Structure 1
Amino acid sequence: MAARSERPSGLRIIIAYKYIKGGATLVLAILVWIVALGGSGAALAEMVSRHLHHLAHPWAYRLGDAIVRALSGHYLMIAATVLSADGTFTLLEGWALHHGAWWGPWLVVASTSLLLPPEIVALARHASAVRGAVLVINGIIVVYLARHARRHAKNEGAR
């Protein structure tokens, strides 16, 4: 494992992002679990409907709209489960990068690469600066980590 000061700044930024996003997603998951188990779906539906226009992706808007229309304990449980899985997976990505696991960069490259085609389609259908920025940032992360992983593999092979 590389010491913190030896890590490239780009890698440190990605690690911090993964930890922050994963933690925030798990906090949101806990809140949704509380709402679902407490039977407050109607209040959540009202809150979601007020904020739907802020969503960047058309698929996210459609998902949010579907949640508002069909909010029940069952759908909230599904949302809480998905958020829990996403937050946990994102934290795993951050942990793997932070601890220098050889597979960490490849895990992030694979998972982030899977997001690129839907982002391209969304951008083509409904162009916006936010969608463009998300696509560019995810593309940069994929290229950066793929290069980092290849360099790391070459250095390990040379030893």
Structure 2
Amino acid sequence: MTRPGALRLIILYKLVRGGLALVLALLVLILAVGHFGTPLADALSGALHHLAHPWAHRAGDALMKAVATNRYLYVAAFALGVDGTFTLLEGAALARGSWWGPWLVVISTSMLLPPEVVGLFRHASAVRAVILVLNVAIVAYLVSHARRTRA
């Protein structure tokens, strides 16, 4: 069975993103277990103090305080692991051709749209707009694909 190019691209994106999230989860877990939070925060804080905008400076300080506390590294590793696993599930369901695969991606991606719209209105940027447009396109495409394959 040949898949349309857009569907292959979505599958590839989901599999790569899910795999990278799991690798990052493992790296963050290693940092937490090895109690590397404080040395990492010290190493990164010098670079973050060169940020130009005051909000970025405050965000960088908050991030460094969180990284210095190993508990937050465990939370981040867990969140990245859950995200990576779910994203791989989405990609595998699409790759396998499961009837529910497109709907799973539609539901999970649609849940992210309202916060993305709010974020775009609060802090408009080209990157946010592109992400929103891409996610809306993915949802529309997969709804159309799921309806076509069901028929």
Mapped to 2, the partners of 1:47 and 1:105 lie a distance apart of 43
Q: Indicate the percent of aligned positions where both proteins have the same amino acid.
A: 57
Specify the code of the residue in structure 2 equivalent to 1:69: K
**What TM-score does the superposition give when structure 1 sets the normalisation length?**
0.82
Please, what is the CA RMSD of the aligned residues? 2.4
Mapped to 2, the partners of 1:47 and 1:12 lie a distance apart of 40
What is residue 151 of structure 1 aligned with on the other side? 148
The gaps in structure 2 that reach 5 residues or longer are: none
Mapped to 1, the partners of 2:102 and 2:129 lie a distance apart of 23
1:35 aligns with 2:31: yes
Mapped to 2, the partners of 1:99 and 1:8 lie a distance apart of 14
Mapped to 1, the partners of 2:18 and 2:129 lie a distance apart of 22
How far apart are residue 45 of structure 1 and its match? Answer: 2.6
CA contact (8 A) 1:16 1:94 kept: yes
Mapped to 2, the partners of 1:150 and 1:16 lie a distance apart of 21
Q: Deviations over 1:117-151 (max 9, x none)?
A: 11101110111111011000011000000110111
Mapped to 1, the partners of 2:18 and 2:141 lie a distance apart of 20
Flag the 1:12–1:23 CA change in 2: closer, same or farther, 3 A: same
Partner-residue secondary structure (3-state), 2:86:
helix
Count of equivalent residues: 144
Flag the 1:151–1:65 CA change in 2: closer, same or farther, 3 A: farther
**What TM-score does the superposition give when structure 2 sets the normalisation length?**
0.86
What is residue 41 of structure 2 aligned with on the other side? 45
What is residue 19 of structure 1 aligned with on the other side? 15
Flag the 1:16–1:47 CA change in 2: closer, same or farther, 3 A: farther
Flag the 1:47–1:145 CA change in 2: closer, same or farther, 3 A: farther
How far apart are residue 46 of structure 1 and its match? Answer: 4.5
Mapped to 2, the partners of 1:108 and 1:48 lie a distance apart of 35
Mapped to 2, the partners of 1:45 and 1:152 lie a distance apart of 50
What is residue 75 of structure 1 aligned with on the other side? 72
What is residue 139 of structure 1 aligned with on the other side? 136
- 37-46 or 102-111: which moved more? 37-46
After TM superposition, the structure 1 = structure 2 runs for residues 93-132 of structure 1, keeping only pairs within 5 Å, are: 93-132=90-129
Mapped to 2, the partners of 1:46 and 1:74 lie a distance apart of 17
Specify the code of the residue in structure 2 equivalent to 1:19: L
